[in-house]
Amino acid sequence: MLKILTMTALLALGACASGPSSNTYVHAAGDTSFTGWVRFSEGEFQLYADQDQVLQPFSRPCLSGAAPRDIMRMSGDLSNAKVRISGRTAPWSQASSDRIEHAGSVIRNECGGSFVVLADDIRPAS
């Protein structure tokens, strides 16, 4: 009986995990503006749809990207804050050597998405 309950619980969890993503960024390729909570690491940013995600290490799903190096430096104090990012998307398939360079910044796609954001601006969201 315990074995049957365990199997039922595992199947239920698997069904939840394979359901549609609630991440608004998964299908946002082509968008030019993104709003969410940001974390900065190793020259790129990760953007999250939910505030609680940005506070959890290795949280997924998220969207990787970078702005020009000077903007990234000035935006570092916005870590864990709600921001609005503008720019353009690029398919990750264009990456060479597992990275895309953007105006002095390097995107390594820590989020593992099919596209990344080549940002022009990062601002606090109102």
DSSP at 80? T
Has residue 11 been placed in a domain?
no
Has residue 118 been placed in a domain?
yes
**What is the full per-residue pLDDT of the chain (126 aa) written as tens digits?**
444 433 333 333 333 333 333 445 655 667 789 999 999 988 899 999 999 999 888 888 999 999 999 999 999 899 999 999 999 999 999 999 999 999 999 999 999 999 999 999 999 997
Q: What predicted TM-score, i.e. pTM, was given to this entire model? A: 0.76
Has residue 4 been placed in a domain?
no
Query: Could you give the number of structural domains in the chain?
Result: 1
Which residues, 6+ apart, have CB-to-CB distance to 87 below 8 Å?
Answer: 32, 65, 67, 117, 118, 119, 120, 121
Domain that holds residue 76: 23-124
- Cα distances from 25 to residues 32, 76, 110, in angstroms, run 12, 22, 14
Has residue 17 been placed in a domain?
no
- Cα distances from 64 to residues 6, 7, 15, 34, 113, in angstroms, run 37, 36, 27, 11, 7
The CATH number of the domain where 92 resides is what?
Answer: 2.40.50
Has residue 3 been placed in a domain?
no
Give the integer Cα–Cα distance in Å for 113 and 62. 8
Has residue 49 been placed in a domain?
yes
